Chain A
Amino acid sequence: MFVDLLFNLRAQGLVVGVGEWTGFLDAVGRGLATDLDGMYHLGRALLCRSESDFDGFDLAFAKTFQGMEIADDLREKLEEWLRDAKERTEGERVPHEFESMEDLLEAFRDRLEKQKERHDGGNHWVGTGGTSPFGNSGRAANGIRVGGSAGGRSAVATAMERRWEGYRGDRTLDLRELKVVLRLLRSLAHDGPMELDLPGTIDATCHNAGDIELVEKRERRNRLKLVLLMDAGGSMAPHAERVEKLFSAASQMKDTFKSFEAYSFHNCVYQWLYKDIEQLDRVATSEILAKLTPQHRIILVGDASMAPYELFSSYSWPSTTTDAGIDWLRRIKQRSPAAIWLNPDPQRFWQHPTVSAIGRIFPMFDLSVQGLKDGIKKLRVPH
Chain B
Amino acid sequence: MAVAPPVPTSFSGGVEAIVLVMLLTEFAMLRAPLARSQIRLYAFQSLGFSGLAVSVAATQHLDDLYVLAALSFVLKVVVVPSIVLRLLRDARVDLAGSNRLGVASMVLLAIAISVFGFFVVGSLPVHARSLPTATLGLAAAMILVAFLLVILRSDVVSQAVGFFSLENGVSVASLALAARLPLIVEVAFLFDLLVAVVVFGVLMRLHHGRSQTLSTDALDRLRG
Q: Do A and B bind each other?
A: no
The interface of chain A, by Cβ under 8 A from chain B, is: none
